[in-house]
C-alpha cells in the first residue's frame, strides 16, 4: 500500500468502504506526518488534531453502519482565507490577529456536510495578495520539494500541505493564479472553476476574477472535491444552477483538437519549462489527441495593466482600507499591492480596464472556437525564493529582469477570461528540483473537457507525489 499520508482520496474511500482501512488510521498517519515535517515546511496555520481524531472515529462508525457521506473520514486542509464560524479569521494579517469569524464559507460548509474532516487550515500571504506565501503573522511557508523556495501563493499552504503529506485534499482560491501557481510549484493538481461554478462569499463573489476551487494530488481526487463543492448557494447570487459535475470516467481524448501554446505572447519562458510543456503536448498526442502548436499573441504588459486596474477597483481598496488604520502592522508587499493597484485604477479608469479585458478575451475566445482546449505553461520560471517579497529585488527570468515579479505568471489571463475552466497539472521538474506545471484551458463552462485532458496526461505521463528529500 502507498504511504498512508500520500494515499489518494479516492483510494482511501474505497479502502474505508471495504473496511481494509480505518479513517482513524489515515488521520493518524497524516497527523504524524505533519508533526514530522511542519517545523520545516510551515504550511498549517491552525491544527485541530485531537478534534479530527474524534471525528475520524465517528466516520469509522458511519462506515460500519453503512451510512458514509461522499468525503466521509478524509483529512481536508482548508485555506485559512475561507472562514469557519467561531474560529480565527485573520487573512494572514497582524491587523486581524484576534478576529473571529461569524460565518462559515460555503465551500467549507459543503466539505463538512460531505463528511470531510478539516483537521488543519493552511497558510496564505497577507490578504492573499501575493504569489508567494509568507507573512508577519505566520512566518515563511516553504516548498516541500526544495525548502529554499516558496510553494507559491496565495494558496501556498494548501499546495505545500498536499506535497508534504499533511492533507489528503485541500481547498484554495484564485484571483490571479492563486490555485494554479501553488499547484504548479508543488507538483499538485489545482482547478480554477469557471466563474460562478463554486459559491463564494460577498462581496468578492461579485468579482469575476475570484474563484474558489479544489486542490489535490491526482485528477480523480481533484474531481471528487470539485463535485462536492459545486452548485448554487442561497448566499451567492452568481452561483450557477444546476450543479455541473465532473464525470467519473475520465481520460479519453481521442480526436480532441488541442492548441499547444509554448507561450501566450511575449512572456519570458525558461528552457526547462518550455521542454516540460512540450513533453506534455507530446503525451497528449500519444494519448490520441490532435495537438497543434499555435501563437496566441497577447502582450503581458496589457494583461498586467488590465489586471491591476481591476485590482485597484475592488481588491486593492480593501487592503488600503485596512492599511489606513493598521499600516504599521501590514507587510511591505501588501502595502505595495494596495498602492500599485490604486494608481493603475486612477490612471486608466474602470472602463478602460474593461475594454482591455474584452480585447484579451477576444483572442482567447477566437482560439477556443477552433480548438477544444488550450495548453500552455503556468509560469515562465520555477518557484520564487522563499521569504523574498520582490520589492527591493527584481525577478530575472530567462536572463531578463522583469518589471514586476508577477510577470513570470501566465495565470492572470484566465482570471480575465474568468468563465474559462483552467486545470493545472504537473509537467515535470526544474533543475533545482521544484515542480513545474501546465494549464489546461477549456471553453467557457466546459469543465469536463479539461478534466478529460488532465486524466489523459496523468495516465501517459504520471507524476511523483512525494518529495524524496522531505
Secondary structure of residue 7 in the 3-state scheme: coil
Q: Which residues pair with 149 in a beta bridge?
A: 385
Grid cell digits, residue 185? 510549484
Distance CA 200, CA 172 (A): 12
Number of DSSP helices (H) and strands (E) in the chain, helices first: 14, 15
Secondary structure of residue 357 in the 3-state scheme: helix
pLDDT of residue 469: 82
* Backbone region of residue 276 per phi and psi (left: phi > 0; alpha: psi in -120 to 50; beta: other values): alpha
- Out of 3.40.50.740, 3.60.15.10, 1.10.10.60, 3.90.1300.10, the CATH code matching 4-460 is 3.90.1300.10
Task: Find out whether the peptide bond into 185 is cis, omega within 30 degrees of 0.
Answer: no
pLDDT of residue 2: 61
Parallel, antiparallel or unpaired: strands 139-140 and 134-135: antiparallel
Does an H or E element contain 10, and which?
Answer: helix 9-17
pLDDT of residue 1: 47
Secondary structure of residue 382 in the 3-state scheme: coil
Residue % of the chain over a pLDDT of 70? 100
Distance CA 417, CA 402 (A): 24
Q: Is residue 376 within 8 Å of 414, Cβ to Cβ?
A: no
CA-based torsion, 49, 55, 57, 62: positive or negative = negative
Task: Find out whether the peptide bond into 154 is cis, omega within 30 degrees of 0.
Answer: yes
Q: What contacts 109, CB < 8 A, 6 or more positions away?
A: none
Q: For 77-108, write each residue's pLDDT tens digit.
A: 999 999 999 999 999 999 999 999 999 999 99
Grid cell digits, residue 43? 504550511
Burial class (CB in 10 A: 0-12, 13-18, 19+), 434: buried
What residue ranges do the domains of the chain occupy?
4-460
Is the model's pTM score more than 0.95? Answer: yes
Burial class (CB in 10 A: 0-12, 13-18, 19+), 363: middle
Where does 50-193 show beta strands of DSSP type E?
Answer: 75-79, 117-122, 134-135, 139-140, 169-174, 189-192
Secondary structure of residue 356 in the 3-state scheme: helix
Distance CA 88, CA 85 (A): 8
Where does 125-183 show beta strands of DSSP type E?
Answer: 134-135, 139-140, 169-174
Residue bearing cell 459545486: 230
CA dihedral 199, 202, 206, 211 (to 10 degrees): -40
Distance CA 469, CA 245 (A): 37
Parallel, antiparallel or unpaired: strands 290-293 and 257-260: parallel
Q: Which residues pair with 146 in a beta bridge?
A: 143
Query: How far out from the chain centre does Cα 389 lie?
Result: 20
Mark the ranges of the chain whose per-residue pLDDT is less than 50. Answer: 1
Distance CA 154, CA 123 (A): 8
Amino acid at each position: 500500500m502507498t504511504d498512508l499520508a500520500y494515499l489518494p482520496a479516492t483510494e482511501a474511500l474505497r479502502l474505508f468502504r471495504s473496511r481494509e482501512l480505518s479513517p482513524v488510521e489515515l488521520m493518524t498517519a497524516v497527523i504524524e506526518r505533519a508533526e514530522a515535517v511542519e517545523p520545516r515546511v510551515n504550511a498549517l496555520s491552525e491544527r485541530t488534531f485531537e478534534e479530527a481524531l474524534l471525528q475520524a472515529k465517528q466516520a469509522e462508525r458511519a462506515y460500519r453502519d453503512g451510512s458514509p457521506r461522499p468525503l466521509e473520514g478524509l483529512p481536508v486542509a482548508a485555506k485559512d482565507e475561507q472562514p469557519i464560524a467561531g474560529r480565527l479569521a485573520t487573512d494572514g494579517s497582524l491587523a486581524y490577529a484576534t478576529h473571529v469569524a461569524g460565518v462559515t464559507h460555503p465551500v467549507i460548509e459543503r466539505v463538512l456536510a460531505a463528511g470531510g474532516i478539516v483537521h488543519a487550515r493552511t497558510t496564505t500571504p497577507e490578504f492573499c495578495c501575493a504569489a508567494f506565501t509568507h507573512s508577519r503573522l505566520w512566518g515563511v511557508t516553504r516548498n516541500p520539494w526544495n525548502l529554499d523556495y516558496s510553494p507559491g501563493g496565495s494558496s501556498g499552504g494548501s499546495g505545500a500541505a498536499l506535497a508534504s503529506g499533511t492533507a489528503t485534499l485541500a481547498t484554495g482560491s484564485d484571483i490571479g493564479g492563486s490555485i494554479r501557481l501553488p499547484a504548479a510549484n508543488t507538483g499538485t493538481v489545482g482547478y480554477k472553476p469557471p466563474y460562478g461554478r463554486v459559491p463564494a462569499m460577498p462581496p468578492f463573489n461579485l468579482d469575476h476574477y475570484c474563484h474558489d476551487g479544489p486542490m489535490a494530488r491526482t485528477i480523480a481526487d481533484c474531481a471528487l472535491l470539485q463535485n462536492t463543492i459545486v452548485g448554487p448557494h442561497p448566499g451567492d447570487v452568481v452561483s450557477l444552477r444546476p450543479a455541473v459535475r465532473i464525470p467519473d470516467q475520465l481520460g479519453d481524448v481521442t480526436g480532441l483538437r488541442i492548441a499547444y501554446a509554448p507561450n501566450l505572447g511575449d512572456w519570458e519562458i525558461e528552457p526547462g519549462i518550455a521542454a516540460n510543456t512540450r513533453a506534455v503536448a507530446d503525451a497528449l498526442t500519444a494519448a490520441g489527441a490532435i495537438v497543434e502548436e499555435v501563437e496566441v499573441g497577447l502582450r503581458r504588459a496589457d494583461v498586467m495593466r488590465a489586471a491591476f486596474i481591476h485590482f485597484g477597483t475592488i481588491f486593492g481598496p480593501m487592503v488600503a482600507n485596512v492599511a489606513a488604520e493598521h499600516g504599521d502592522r501590514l507587510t511591505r508587499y501588501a502595502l505595495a499591492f494596495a498602492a500599485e493597484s490604486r494608481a493603475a485604477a486612477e490612471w486608466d479608469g474602470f472602463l478602460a480596464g474593461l475594454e482591455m479585458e474584452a480585447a484579451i478575451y477576444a483572442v482567447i475566445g477566437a482560439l477556443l472556437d477552433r480548438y477544444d482546449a488550450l495548453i500552455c505553461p503556468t509560469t515562465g520560471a520555477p518557484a520564487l525564493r522563499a521569504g523574498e517579497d520582490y520589492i527591493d529585488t527584481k525577478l530575472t527570468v530567462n536572463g531578463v529582469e522583469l518589471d514586476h515579479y508577477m510577470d513570470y505568471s501566465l495565470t492572470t489571463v484566465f482570471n480575465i477570461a474568468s468563465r474559462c475552466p483552467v486545470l493545472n497539472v504537473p509537467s515535470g521538474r526544474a533543475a533545482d528540483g521544484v515542480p513545474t506545471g501546465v494549464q489546461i484551458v477549456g471553453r467557457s463552462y466546459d469543465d469536463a473537457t479539461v478534466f478529460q485532458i488532465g486524466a489523459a496526461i496523468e495516465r501517459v505521463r504520471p507524476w511523483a507525489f512525494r518529495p524524496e528529500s522531505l
